[in-house]
Structure 1
Amino acid sequence: MLHLRLITPAATTDDVVRLIESTVGTTHLVVVPGAARDPAGDVVMCDVAREAGDELLTRLQELGIDSSGSIAVETIDLSLSKRADKAEAEAPGEGADAVLWEHLTDATHEESTLSVTYVSFITLATMIAACGVVLDNAILIVGAMAVGPEFGPLAGISTSIVQRAPRLALRSLSALLVGFAVAMAVTVGFSWFMDALNLFSKEQLEAERPNTSFVYAPDAFSFVVAVLAGIAGTLSLTSAKSGALVGVAISVTTVPAAANAAVALSYGDTSQTIGSTNQLLLNLLGIVLAGTLTLVTQKWLWSRQRQRTTTP
């Protein structure tokens, strides 16, 4: 269930109340006239089944509540109410399959914004991965994958394509390109520093590395895994099962490939630099493609579900 808290101008409160009452899957409607001060108006609260949430939010925006008042949405972790159970049973489809497009757009916006924190995380992840590839240490590679925040911008690009949101696309693409560029540049300097301390060497980079050689040797499985990870990651975002994102992060080789490319570049190893860059681009392409197709499929399936439930 979702909890909605609305601030509505007094002139539109009756329209909002009628809308909520006519939406299948809503319950626990509360109206507090004149309670809001900034902006001035009435406070309207209700609970709505997740599978009915997107339709209600869209219609509230059509009434202009997002510009004349306020719409706040919270997820209810526990609701002990027979009315809530009845509302969920009446709502079409299953809550886990519903996509809240406004929530998804907002979430990807936050995760795909170029910030000091984002750049710090992707840089640290790339430096950790650099240690992993030189030492041929798979544990460090996995750790770097988990730290890397690059799935946010990738999900933002997929969302922007489906929702036709050019600003989100530009923001996500900027975060992705600038983030990797800064991370790889810093990692080149980090590699030189580690070499000066005799902790990195070209011999280590070019030695047999059975645990990490995959990061500069892309093949068909690289693309297949990226596609599967992109599907899983997108489903975890749309169904609010964020725990699955950790598994997604450690199943693709974006950050390790970027790290290997940076270290190889610092030593002038053109072969590994090109191979790692191809691995990076292949993974990025697979994730974006899979994410976009997943969102398109979800949107189509949900529209079919709504048509079946509304057709007499």
Structure 2
Amino acid sequence: MRLIQVLIPEGSRQPVLDVLEGQGIDYAVFEETGRGEFEAMVQFPVPPTGVEPVLEDIRAAGISESAYTIVLPTETVVSERLDALKALYPGDRLSREELKASAQSLAPELATYFAFIVLSTVIATGGLLLDSAATIIGAMVVAPLMGPAITASAGSVLADRDLTARGIALQVAGLVLAIVVAAAVGAVLKGTVIIPPGTDIRTIPQVAERTSPGFLSLFIAFGSGIAGAISVSRGSGSTLVGVAIAVALIPPAATSGLGIAWGYSGVAASAAVLVLVNLLSINLSALAIFWLSGYRPELSEQRDSVRASVLKRGAVLVVALVGLSIILGATTFAAYQTTTFENQATAETEQFFDDPAFSEYQLEAIEVDYDSQDIILGNDPTVSVVVGQPNAADVPPDIAERLERQIEQRTGQDAGVRVGVIIGQESEPIPPTVDATTSARIERPHPNGAAAPDFKRNENSGRSITLRSSVPP
């Protein structure tokens, strides 16, 4: 319920009371003894959905915006007399006036806003480098990005250009600042002992997660925007929903900044695309929810122009998202291809060594080197296999070639295959001076032109055995 208090100007008391009596609303009137231009104050309870139509009728009765109208949320109202009023105004949607007030309060002062952006970005950057999801989520509690997104959309449907412009400006400035701060933090940490030399941020799971945006990113962003709009329009849970919106924006912005700091243009660009996609999706979904919830400008002559403006803005957002979706589609398809190949190559390798001809082999490890960047650059995948075998003399010289043919027949994909064979003896301990080495390989350059990694295995049960297998450049 809401408690509305209205100061009635001189000569307007009876028209206002007639409006309330006509809708069956109980009210109390107090004589005004303050400024002489008001003759009384009336207060009355009304459900949230009734605030907007009742205030419209009161304004039509002679109460202008120059007077004072106060809308107060109430904790509890005990009265059976309100049942009829609740049936007349069902639901819990906030009024136009309350939505506008909430949107204004969600867009904080510049100093506060930018301070929280900097702090949340610093924490999120640390969480990315530490690969800590908990730290990243904690940083989002600080991030104030829900306010500007909701403010821009609310201003659009209510024909408040200042509110719209402020929301858009705060979003753009905040995300640009987040990228700059993350880049600065990354550049500083990169040159210290805090970050080990040679650290490749592309291998950090929390960073890699935000450098391959797919269509699921759209669902996350749309869900965040819808949740934010619903929470504000219903007056519930806006703080927690703000965390979801911040999660969709600050971590990819920080990832883009880290890509700049490390000089990885691909990381910076792909994370920036994710930021832009999420930003557009959140704004589009919030705009749609507010419009479908029935929010319109107070003045009827503004409604046609606002409808055209909302449709135009929505069309621009949709076109931009469709264009960016091409990138998301390519990334999603590449991720599907790499995952499919990895699963097929792993299954074929396991099946290959399950053959009775290789019954003495023990499959130790399978590693598939193939990602979205390899597809974009046209690099072939590499399959690295480590197996155990008790006798070096029994290792076929073409084992890697045979496995390669089987994988290519199954997947239709050219692949470089490396097989490392660990030779062990179990009957008696091997003298420490003995070094048994064998290698089976396929003469094919590594897709990235680099030497293949060494396979090493040391046992402490009386023997020391080392295997090195490499593909020549």
* Shared fold, TM over 0.5: yes
Establish whether residue 8 from structure 1 lines up as the match of residue 43 from structure 2.
no
User: Counterpart in 2 of 1:71?
Assistant: 69
Match of 2:46 among 43, 48, 54: 48
Establish whether residue 249 from structure 1 lines up as the match of residue 243 from structure 2.
yes
Equivalenced residue count is 294
Aligned with 1:44: secondary structure? strand
Equivalent residue letter for 1:290:
S
Q: How does 1:262-273 map to 2 (within 5 A)?
A: 262-273=257-268
Establish whether residue 87 from structure 1 lines up as the match of residue 85 from structure 2.
yes
Shift of 1:43: 1.2
Tell me, yes or no, if the aligned pair for 1:260 and 1:273 is still in contact at 8 Å: yes
Shift of 1:56: 1.3
Tell me, yes or no, if the aligned pair for 2:231 and 2:241 is still in contact at 8 Å: no
Shift of 1:106: 1.5
Q: Which has the higher helix share?
A: 1
Q: How does 1:1-312 map to 2 (within 5 A)?
A: 1-23=1-23, 26-27=25-26, 29-37=27-35, 40-63=38-61, 65-89=63-87, 91-94=88-91, 96=92, 98-200=93-195, 203-242=198-237, 245-247=239-241, 249-250=243-244, 252-299=247-294
TM-score by length of 2: 0.58
Tell me, yes or no, if the aligned pair for 1:127 and 1:190 is still in contact at 8 Å: yes
User: Counterpart in 2 of 1:308?
Assistant: none
Tell me, yes or no, if the aligned pair for 2:8 and 2:40 is still in contact at 8 Å: yes
Equivalent residue letter for 2:44:
C
Shift of 1:10: 2.1
Tell me, yes or no, if the aligned pair for 2:144 and 2:242 is still in contact at 8 Å: no
Larger relative CO (CA 8 A, sep 6+): 1 or 2? 1
* Larger radius of gyration between Structure 1 and Structure 2: 2
Tell me, yes or no, if the aligned pair for 1:133 and 1:212 is still in contact at 8 Å: yes
What is the alpha-carbon distance in structure 2 between the residues aligned to residue 242 and residue 39 of structure 1? 40
What is the alpha-carbon distance in structure 2 between the residues aligned to residue 129 and residue 202 of structure 1? 21
Give the root-mean-square deviation of aligned CA atoms: 2.2
TM-score by length of 1: 0.86
Deviations 1:177-231 (A, max 9, x none): 2222233323332223333433246744524222442222211000111111211
Gaps of at least 5 residues in structure 2 are 296-473
Tell me, yes or no, if the aligned pair for 1:146 and 1:250 is still in contact at 8 Å: no
What is the alpha-carbon distance in structure 2 between the residues aligned to residue 220 and residue 93 of structure 1? 37
Shift of 1:39: 6.2
What is the alpha-carbon distance in structure 1 between the residues aligned to residue 169 and residue 23 of structure 2? 39
Equivalent residue letter for 1:267:
W
Shift of 1:132: 1.2
Higher mean displacement: 7-16 or 32-41: 32-41
Q: Percent identity?
A: 22
Aligned with 1:177: secondary structure? helix
Equivalent residue letter for 2:9:
P
What is the alpha-carbon distance in structure 1 between the residues aligned to residue 141 and residue 36 of structure 2? 42
